[in-house]
Amino acid sequence: MEEKYTKAYAEKLDAKDELRAFRNEFYLKNEYVYMDGNSLGLMSKRAEQSVYDLLASWREYGIDGWTEGNQPWYYLSESLGGKMAGLIGAEKEEVVVTGSTTVNLHQLVSTFYEPKGNRTKVLADSLNFPSDIYALKAQLRGKGYDDSHLIQVQSEDGHILDEEAIINAMTEDVALIVLPSVLYRSGQILDMEKLTKAAHERGIKIGFDLCHSIGAIPHQLHDWDVDFAFWCTYKHLNGGPGSVAALYVNEKHFGVSPGLAGWFSSNKEKQFDMEHTLTPAEDAGAFQIGTPHVLSAAPLIGTLDLFHEAGIEKIRRKSLKLTAYMIELIEYELKEFNFVICNPVNDKQRGGHIYIEHLEAARICKALKMEKVIPDFRKPSGIRLAPVALYNSFEDVYDCVQILKNIMQEKVYEQFSNEREVVS
């Protein structure tokens, strides 16, 4: 056996890992291999402390916590947005932490979808996460159009999108484009710069869902001139279950009235004038709606500090090494078991997780959990494995593949039904 397929080789890679110290910042269960960070990131010790600190400010200040203490709640959404901006290549004023992914999508589409004349359609894709499509269809209905006004670019193989096909679908009847930055199944990275340039050449506004890319890959949204973006914070950003989402609006759109206005859409100097005519904030803060979810945003204070210390470029560099190593091990160790690797293998297009398919995928995922490996099942036959740069090691990747190999050799999966759990 070649050395690169041994555990000793994985240990050598870990010894050279420039981010290895960050593993100690997270709560990792003994003997478990966590490979589901693209669904829910692990808790960090700093995120935990941030929650305690916010609770302490509530205890100490009461209502004065809105303007007093180390993290005044009134400005928390904007200050966290500023800390997050570097992860997506945005100006600080272009980002605000608010709402949920789908609420933010509704806000942005209601703002930037302006059907006029023959331009009435929204362009999306057939591989996007369902909730984005639900929201787009609801927005169309709200403007008096039916589902026929939603164009979904198809995939030839069910895993990968052809960017030229997307560009060809940017026809004169398209008013708005909403696409994922990274496909949630296959992990394909779309060329956001290329697609934005093509959209703008045709007079179409374009936005991206960054749920599976933020915290895993670098972005340059401002320089690429992307109109808007939205994302959750509980996957690669490790903000915790239900942590507050965020959005980006290019500064060229500052001053546009939010499609869904609310209390915190206000200019902060005017908000408590209590007037019935909204004076919107002059930055991305205008696209907030309701009062900030302070306690649900609290973990981000600590976790974003970790990202600033590690650096997104180093995170991306290690992530690529982890996923390339996993692909190599899967191809070597599992070649006789009919697994199909469905994500791009080239670095430019590969996001932060591996996606493999097998007819017994649901049973295999249950067996992996029994053997203390935490994967992610996607109906009907997909297994997602996400080695996260901040807390997963090369030894984790090695152990994961070896355990999977043993499950297949011993047919451990046969004791389970091939049906998904309630949450998968």
Number of other residues whose CB lies within 10 A of the CB of residue 24: 9
Segment 25-39, tens digit of pLDDT? 999 999 999 999 999
Q: How many whole angstroms separate alpha carbon 95 and alpha carbon 93?
A: 6
Residue of 103, 163, 167 whose CA lies nearest to 127: 163
* pLDDT of 252: 98
Q: Which residue's structure tokens are 């490979």?
A: 35
Q: Is 377 a catalytic residue?
A: no
* 272 labelled binding-site residue: no
Q: How many whole angstroms separate alpha carbon 155 and alpha carbon 132?
A: 17
* 319 labelled binding-site residue: no
* pLDDT of 424: 63
Q: Is 254 a catalytic residue?
A: no
Per domain, the residue ranges of the chain are 3-30+311-415, 48-309
Mean pLDDT over each residue of the chain, to the nearest integer: 97
* 263 labelled binding-site residue: yes
CATH superfamily of 3-30+311-415: Aspartate Aminotransferase, domain 1 (3.90.1150.10)
* pLDDT of 1: 67
Q: Is 129 a catalytic residue?
A: yes
* pLDDT of 265: 95
Segment 190-217, tens digit of pLDDT? 999 999 999 999 999 999 999 999 999 9
- Per the residue annotation, which of 384, 396, 398, 413 is the catalytic one? 384
Q: Is 363 a catalytic residue?
A: no
Segment 90-144, tens digit of pLDDT? 999 999 999 999 999 999 999 999 999 999 999 999 999 999 999 999 999 999 9
- Per the residue annotation, which of 228, 234, 287, 339 is the catalytic one? 234
Q: Is 378 a catalytic residue?
A: no
The pTM of this model reads 0.96
Write down the CATH number for the domain with range 48-309. 3.40.640.10
* 291 labelled binding-site residue: yes
- Per the residue annotation, which of 36, 125, 209, 399 is the catalytic one? 209
Q: How many whole angstroms separate alpha carbon 298 and alpha carbon 295?
A: 5
CA–chain centroid gap for 218, Å, is: 12
Confidence of residue 420 (pLDDT cuts 50, 70, 90): confident
Decide if 90 contacts 227 (C-beta within 8 A): no
Report the DSSP pairing between strands 382-385 and 354-357.
Answer: antiparallel
